[in-house]
Structure 1
């Protein structure tokens, strides 16, 4: 059997037929690497409800649906995976990771699809990608106690630090309440307030600057099915929320997404204490894995016990955007070749920040 897609249609998500929807959900159910909530059709539906530029490339092999690739259709010609800057994981939704779809896509997509978090297990993502990195996973299949016992053996210092922070919290007094699945809108208001203040204080790009991102968060909070649900977790001290985390879950995976806390209590690390309680309560919600996403954060490395590879890259047709991207790569290569020291990384960082800013604004 050929591993090449033979044709492609680009549709709005709301125009997918019942048959295509059945294929999509079947591919997700049959493919363990698509267990993340990012690959659920219901997530694409929610994205389509908050952004009019949500599209999906439907690939066929000899007339039979073979795969789906959801993305955001940019006005600039630079297209991005579903969710834009909020999308930690993406890739082809198919039951065959060897399916070659990029050449077929280029014939229909006038521009460049930029991905940053593509599944390296998929042949065409790997062939069009570079800079592989780990995306961190907490595997709780053996239960909460077994997971933390394993972390104790591997990261004894981190566990001692966690216990010390808990003692500091106890010394402050006050009633502590954890809610693992908090449905309150006011709690999400608090989380967004903390998170946006954190972005402002650190100079990081505020992914909630665009109203679509805030609308997505509130839509997810109210969305509850066995395939997809938003999950807000909170920690209160004497009735005041001091830490919160907002993520989403599928049947088997909780995606760890947006943690934030009151900086006035940073000495007790309330976010870390809430994280511990989330690992304790996650099994009651169904998932047996927590995906932490990529990054060099010490927290992710210390508390994960598994990982999978993701990649950056692009799939380009002959167009002005692809020529612009090629020019940018040339500047980056020149900077790397010159004896510039740390500033040699500036062109790439500037490009990635610009790309994130335009993605946040849906440009």
Structure 2
């Protein structure tokens, strides 16, 4: 096994074609977060972005996108944003995790949302992504929703009628060139309300979003879907699409119209449009209360740290292990998690 570490933006068409083919051959690698187009876009806005190109003799065998997070330590590319991470590889690929890290010039690789089929990385904790499974089409999804959450379905239908009666007719556009500014304002306001860091305020994230909006190819796209009343946007979503999968990223709605639940109305319109375009599922990220109601599928993920013996690995453990242990304790204890969430929301309102 031979490994070359390069910037994703420097990959040539043979490497990009092989990367796409590997994802196409393995459904668990279909997430847009693992697409070469995403890695290249990140590479154009973050000079630290790297990808390990793995060779077996003269054949390409895999690609591991990453960026440094300390001495001989790395995490997945744009890990702060992505909800699917890991090594993209050809079917049947086998390797040893220690050899893989050594070839990348690393002693540590930490991850939060590792996709399945990655035995070379040892995980510490299992996680679950919530999916909107569209294999049975829109009618199949609606049948599931009506049967499992009849009250929620009726409430959304009632509010859709009410908002149109009170304000005006709704229109929906799957891929719009307008109203992106409104989405970002709503999302920033939401982050403040819940006391979370505003991802969209980071200059490199804003630059990445703008670059992704310009990528519209058969292999990858980043549609902005908008629900409107006349020329007024009321809800929107910016996501990534590749290999029949949509990665939900930035959904938001006009808080002035929150009583009408425009976000949930938009959700059903998005599902209908995605199913009509042949998408297999929409990845909404890890669990949340409302996702338990609207989602009809799951995807296993894992969190952990892969290490090689050495001084850099030991220093990384000393620096990060206490914080990781505290985080797991809080997340695993419903009472502590609720208190932490309440504290963040109070800070956001301050």
**TM value normalised by structure 2:** 0.86
* TM-superposed deviation, 1:143: 1.5
Pair 1:39 & 2:30 matched: no
The equivalent of 1:178 in structure 2 is: 172
Distance 1:319 1:238, change over 3 A: farther
| Distance of 1:55 and 1:335 partners within structure 2 | 28
Are 2:188 and 1:196 equivalent residues in the alignment? yes
CA distance in 2, matches of 1:216, 1:302: 31
Q: How does 1:1-16 map to 2 (within 5 A)?
A: 6-16=1-11
**Residue 280 (structure 1) shift:** 0.9
Q: 1:144 to 1:313 in 2, by over 3 A?
A: same
- TM-aligned CA deviation for residue 78 of structure 1: 4.4
Trace 1:141-290 onto structure 2 (pairs within 5 A).
141-184=135-178, 187-290=179-282
Change (3 A) 1:222 1:316: same
**Matching residue of 1:56:** 51
Contact 2:245–2:280 (Cα < 8 Å) also in 1: yes
Q: Which moved more, 1:165-174 or 1:262-271?
A: 165-174
Q: Secondary structure at the match of 1:85?
A: coil
Match of 2:105 among 102, 109, 117: 109
Residue 295 of structure 2 is aligned to residue 300 of structure 1: no
Residues 57-136 of structure 1: pairs in structure 2 closer than 5 A: 57-74=52-69, 78-96=73-91, 99-107=94-102, 108-125=104-121, 128-136=122-130
The list of structure 1 runs, each at least 4 consecutive aligned residues, that deviate by more than 6 angstroms after superposition, is 334-337, 341-346
Structure 1 residues 322-337: aligned runs within 5 Å = 322-326=314-318, 328-330=320-322
Aligned counterparts of 1:141 and 1:343: Cα–Cα separation in 2: 37
Cα deviation, residue 335, structure 1: 10
Asked if the contact 1:256/1:293 (under 8 Å) is kept, the reply is yes
Q: Is the 8 A contact 1:59 1:101 kept in 2?
A: no
Task: Tell me, in whole angstroms, the C-alpha distance in 2 between the residues paired with 1:64 and 1:152.
Answer: 49
Task: Determine if the alignment matches structure 1 residue 313 to structure 2 residue 312.
Answer: no
Task: Label 1:160 to 1:39 Cα distance change in 2 as closer, same or farther (>3 A).
Answer: same
- Report how many aligned residue pairs link the two structures: 336
- Any unmatched runs of 5+ in structure 1? 1-5, 354-363
**CA RMSD, 1 decimal:** 2.8
